[in-house]
């Protein structure tokens, strides 16, 4: 009798494990890119409504550091649970940028997320994103003579909260907030920045095969260096981000994604000797992505990105073009 009870308990336990693991989903992707500027690649790749558009970059007068081939591996591991309060999907997404010729620019990031659906029409999404020890480039340490330069590195910690509300069969409204911290290496600790972001996203399903979207973000960043008595610079800023785009099913198994966005960075330094005093930066970026679904689980992708950056006091425009191909597979 005891053996039968233990057997039933064991079978129930194994059935529970099997049911839990049946909810797991693993998606792997690998992309290979050509980039014409190693210093701007990661900022261009991560810029978007659902990315990190305010990721800092090297001063545009010191970009243009050469081209490279970049391997971008990534995984999305997720599981879901359903309770009386609704369904929750937990996921983790590690990602890397591995440079072939300039390995010092290689970096990794990870995002951890929970998406809870209260009803079929209402959900909340929570996410933590971090990109540790990212190389920005060789920057000027001080304006004192003689000039001294050192590698500038930053670690980003960003928390997201987004409310997602379906208004009708064709309309969806999302409202996103972010709070984050950029922590620089000791040499550039005066640039450590705390920031917050808010903004709406609106989606419209125009037809069965076409979805249009638009979004806006307002972001305020405050640098720790603004409090220093002998401060030479203040990296604080106000950031505006506007995006429009579409997702279209061109034919069975072939999808097209296009988006265009404009960014305006206004530096708010009031220090008379700070080169950022009175400066602003304009960024225009377009992205195109084709996805061809080979099977239910495997797809091929083609990417094209182009970004133009210009600071108002500089005469030149800084360009970054990324072209890539990839494969995505769901296990």
pLDDT (tens, 9 = 90+) of the chain, 331 residues, equals 433 433 433 434 334 434 444 478 999 999 999 999 999 999 999 998 899 999 988 765 555 678 999 999 999 999 999 888 889 999 999 999 999 999 999 999 999 999 999 999 999 999 999 999 999 988 888 766 677 889 999 999 999 999 999 999 999 999 999 999 999 999 999 999 999 999 999 999 999 999 999 999 999 999 998 877 777 889 999 999 999 999 999 999 999 999 999 999 999 998 888 888 888 999 999 999 999 999 999 999 999 999 999 988 777 788 999 999 999 999 8
Q: Residue 256's CB: how many other CB atoms inside 10 A? A: 16
Place of tokens 């190389």: 135
Query: Phi/psi at 99 (nearest 5 deg)?
Result: -90, 135
pLDDT at 317: 84
Q: Do 232 and 248 touch, CB atoms closer than 8 A?
A: no
CATH 2.40.160.40 holds for 26-330: yes
pLDDT at 160: 97
Kindly state the helix (H) or strand (E) to which residue 44 belongs, with its residue range.
helix 41-46
Q: Residue 200's CB: how many other CB atoms inside 10 A? A: 13
pTM given for the model: 0.88
Q: Where do the domains of the chain lie?
A: 26-330
């Amino acid at each position: 009798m005891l053996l039968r009870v233990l057997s039933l308990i064991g079978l129930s336990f194994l059935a529970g494990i099997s049911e839990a693991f049946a909810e797991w989903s693993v998606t792997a992707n690998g992309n290979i890119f050509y980039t014409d500027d190693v210093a701007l690649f990661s900022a261009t790749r991560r810029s978007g409504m659902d990315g990190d558009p305010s990721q800092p970059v090297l001063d545009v007068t010191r970009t243009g550091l050469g081209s490279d081939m970049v391997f971008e591996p990534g995984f999305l591991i997720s599981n879901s649970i359903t309770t009386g309060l609704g369904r929750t999907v937990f996921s983790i997404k590690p990602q890397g940028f591995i440079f072939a010729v300039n390995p010092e620019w290689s970096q990794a990031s990870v995002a951890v997320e929970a998406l809870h659906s209260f009803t079929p029409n209402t959900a909340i999404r929570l996410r933590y994103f971090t990109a540790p020890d990212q190389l920005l480039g060789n920057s000027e340490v001080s304006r004192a003579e003689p000039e001294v330069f050192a590698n500038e590195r930053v670690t980003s910690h960003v928390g997201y909260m987004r409310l997602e509300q379906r208004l009708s069969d064709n309309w969806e409204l999302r409202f996103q907030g972010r709070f984050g911290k950029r922590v620089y290496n000791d040499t550039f600790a005066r640039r450590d920045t705390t920031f917050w972001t808010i903004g709406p996203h609106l989606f419209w399903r125009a037809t069965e095969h076409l979805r249009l979207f638009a979004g806006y973000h307002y972001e305020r960043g405050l640098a720790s260096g603004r409090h220093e008595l002998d401060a030479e610079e203040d990296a604080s800023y106000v950031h505006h981000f506007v995006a429009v785009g579409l997702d279209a099913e061109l034919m069975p198994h072939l999808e097209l994604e296009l988006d265009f966005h404009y960014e305006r960075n206004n530096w708010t330094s009031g220090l008379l000797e700070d080169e950022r005093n009175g400066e602003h930066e304009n960024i225009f970026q377009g992205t195109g992505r084709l996805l061809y679904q080979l099977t239910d689980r495997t797809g091929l992708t083609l990417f094209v990105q182009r970004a133009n950056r210009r600071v108002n006091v500089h005469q030149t425009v800084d360009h970054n073009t990324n072209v890539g191909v990839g494969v995505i597979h769901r296990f």
